[in-house]
Amino acid sequence: MDTNWIAFALAVVTGIAIGALWFGPRTFFPAWWKALGKTPDEQPGTANMGVVFGLTAIAVIVQAGVLSLLLPVIGTAVGSMGWFTGLATGALLGLAFAAAPAITHKLFGGFRLWVWVLEAGQDIVSLAAMGAIIGAFS
């Protein structure tokens, strides 16, 4: 299994871009922030934002790496690989391994369901897009 490094890099950039757009100030960030019980006066970033963004980038790199390793195996199993197989695989992985376990964490943690919808939605969309890119290059 040879990794297509162009597809890998595009998937990483796409995953980061979707997260940035999804939780941007004009998209879902205000609703998510409110659902967390925060006020507009409270600003994010009390932690070291370099660490936050660095760990976020590492997480997306891990996701793209796992997709790059897993998609050729799935392509062999189903008999074909392309952007749609990658998209479907990424979406299913997001649903099964990001959204499903996160709902219990959010609800038992006392968060509203809307927090989970916004966070899991971003995970599913990002993984689907990353899978589509990697699948298209396979």
Q: Tell me: the pLDDT tens digits for 2-33?
A: 889 999 999 999 999 999 999 999 999 999 99
Q: Is 34 within the bounds of a domain?
A: yes
Report d(CA 115, CA 128) in Å as an integer.
Answer: 20
CA distance 138 to 134: 6
Asked if 60 and 133 count as a contact pair (C-beta separation under 8 A), the reply is no
When the pLDDT of each residue in the chain is averaged and rounded to a whole number, the result is: 94
pTM of the model: 0.93
Q: Which two tokens stand for residue 117?
A: 């919808």
Number of domains comprising the chain: 1
Radius of gyration from C-alpha coordinates of the chain: 16
Band (46; pLDDT cuts 50, 70, 90): low
What is the residue range of 90's domain? 5-38+57-136
Of 87, 105, 97, residue with least CA distance to 123: 97
Q: Is residue 76 part of a domain?
A: yes
Question: Would you say residue 46 lies in a domain?
Answer: no
Structure confidence by residue, pLDDT tens digits, 95-113: 999 999 999 999 999 999 9
Which has the minimum average pLDDT: 7-16, 17-26, 44-53, 84-93? 44-53
Is 88 part of a structural domain of the chain? yes
Residue 43 lies in a domain: no
In a domain, 52, yes or no: no
Residue 49 lies in a domain: no
Angle between helix axes 49-78 and 83-94 (nearest 10 degrees) is 120
- Residue 25 in any domain: the answer is yes
Residue owning tokens 């970033």:
45
